[in-house]
Amino acid sequence: MQLQAARRCTTDEYLALERSHPERHQYLAGEMFAMGGASERHNLVVMNAAGELRTQLKGRPCRTYANDMRVKVAPTGLYTYPDIVVVCGGPRFDDEQRDTLVNPSVLIEVVSPSTEAYDRGEKFAHYRRLESLAEYVLIAQDAVHVEHYLRQSDNQWLLSETDRLDGMLRLPSIECELALAEIYDKVDLVGAAAAG
């Protein structure tokens, strides 16, 4: 998803707008950024990964949200919509509206060439400030490639990555394993390579 031009407003104005309009925006330091639409590949990867997580977490004290669960990074003031959010041990919300999660356990972003630098850099810098966050995953939508960051301590993250369709994404904090073949099921990677 791409971010569009910024609009200035207060946090209260931002939340009021988000709650009354279908368009989604990211918010930071008084600026609201419209989020562009997602490609078919992006949507397929999100739904495949979220579906696998939901199935594996069924009957356990974890919840999976896809696309529309807003997350607030309280230490930095960022409000954003990760592609997939997993929270374990009960969700905590920013207010009584229960639409802004503050304690994600795992965050997953499906990246494109236009968003990967932001998702890997500035956005991850914000996410690392979430005490509850144990794992962060970046999944490419135009090639088989997954980057997995596992928290080792407050300031240390361990990176592992795979680019094999027969590979596995292991999420030890929530005891889940996702086959990359399932994540990329029905995703036209040949068309992505031709377009790139």
Per run of 10 residues, the mean pLDDT along the chain (length 196 residues) is 65 92 89 84 97 97 94 97 96 96 98 90 97 98 97 95 97 98 95 54
Tell me whether residue 111 is in a domain: yes
Tell me whether residue 162 is in a domain: yes
Tell me whether residue 2 is in a domain: no
- Domain of residue 83: give its range: 38-195
- The pLDDT value recorded for residue 113 is 85
Q: What is the pTM of this model?
A: 0.90
- The pLDDT value recorded for residue 111 is 95
What CATH number is associated with residue 101? 3.90.1570.10
Tell me whether residue 19 is in a domain: no
| The total number of structural domains that make up the chain | 1
Whether 70 and 27 have beta carbons less than 8 Å apart is answered as: no
Copy the structure tokens of residue 36: 């562009």
What lies within 8 Å, CB to CB, of 131 at 6+ separation is none
What lies within 8 Å, CB to CB, of 158 at 6+ separation is 149, 150, 152
R_g (Cα) of the chain, nearest Å = 16
- The pLDDT value recorded for residue 22 is 85
Tell me whether residue 47 is in a domain: yes
Whether 72 and 78 have beta carbons less than 8 Å apart is answered as: yes
Tell me whether residue 45 is in a domain: yes
Tell me whether residue 184 is in a domain: yes
Whether 170 and 159 have beta carbons less than 8 Å apart is answered as: no
Tell me whether residue 3 is in a domain: no
